[in-house]
Amino acid sequence: AMADELERLDACISGLLEKNADKILNKITSLGKDQVKKLQVDFGVGFKAYLKNACAKYSRIKTILYRSQPRYLYDFFECNTLSCGGRGIDASDVANVMQTSHFLILQGTGGIGKSTLFKHFFMSALRKDTLREDPIPIFVELKELSGSKNALFDDLYASLNRLGFRLEPEYFTYALRAGCFLFLLDGYDEISPDRRADFFRQLDELCDRYPDNNYL
C-alpha cells in the first residue's frame, strides 16, 4: 500500500510544482526568456527532490509499538478531530484546518499525537486539490532551529536544504513572496523556554512579511 501511495504522490508532486512554478515566475520580471526556462526547470528539480525525500522521511514513524522498525504512517494512523472556538474540525484533510485561518497554533498535551498529525498534514497537502491554493508543504522540526536571533529565514531554508533542495536562497524568497508554502512548524515545546519569545518574534515578522503563505 505504501509503494502504491508513494507512486501516486509522485505524480501529485509534479502537478503541484508546475502550478507553483508559474506563481513564482509571475513575481520575477528581471529575467530573460532563457533564464526563466532554466529557473522553471531548476525550481521543479529542487522542490521535487525535497518533497520526495521529506515524504520518505515523514511517512514512516517509530512508535511505542513499532520501536525497532518505522512503520508507514497510514498503516496505523487514526485521525483526530480538532476543536476551534467550540467547533469541531475534521482533520482528515489539512484543507479543513487551514480554512479556519492561514495562521494557526495547534495545542495539546504531550504525547497526544501532534507530531504524527502534522506528518499526516504534510502527506495530505501533497495530494491534488486538497487546498484551493495548492501550497508546497514544508515540514520544519523546531528542535533543529539554530537559536540565532533573526535567523528564522535561514533555518527554514536549511530545513529544505537538508533534504535535497539546492536552489539559491533568493529563489526561496521569490517563492515566499508568491505565497507558495504551507509551513508545518512542529515541536514548539522542544524549544528551550529562554528562546521561545525570540522565536515568536521572528515568526510574527515572517508572517507579516510573507502573509500569503499558510503557517501551522
Q: Can you give the pTM of this predicted structure?
A: 0.86
Check: CB of residue 82 under 8 Å from CB of residue 120.
no
> Mean pLDDT throughout 156-183?
88
**pLDDT value at residue 146:** 81
Say yes or no to pLDDT of 216 above 60: yes
CA nearest to 84, candidates 72, 99, 66: 99
| Mean pLDDT (the chain, rounded) | 84
Confidence at residue 130, expressed as pLDDT on a 0 to 100 scale: 47
Residue 71 pLDDT greater than 60, yes or no:
yes
Report the candidate in 118, 121, 133 with the shortest Cα–Cα distance to residue 212: 133
Q: CB-based burial of residue 168 (10 Å sphere; 0-12 exposed, 13-18 middle, 19+ buried)?
A: exposed
Residues 142, 186, 162, CA angle at the centre, nearest 5°? Answer: 55
Asked if residues 94 and 131 have their Cβ atoms less than 8 Å apart, the reply is yes
For residues 34-49, one letter each, b for 16 or more C-beta atoms within 10 angstroms of the residue's C-beta and e for the rest, the string is eeeeebbeebbebbbe
Q: What is the pLDDT of residue 208?
A: 96
| pLDDT score of 1 | 52
Residue 180 pLDDT greater than 90, yes or no: no
d(CA 92, CA 110): 21
Range name among 5-9, 17-21, 79-83, 197-201 with the lowest pLDDT average: 5-9
**pLDDT tens per residue, range 19-66:** 777 777 776 666 666 776 777 777 778 888 899 899 889 988 876 665
- Hey, what's the cell of 25? 515566475
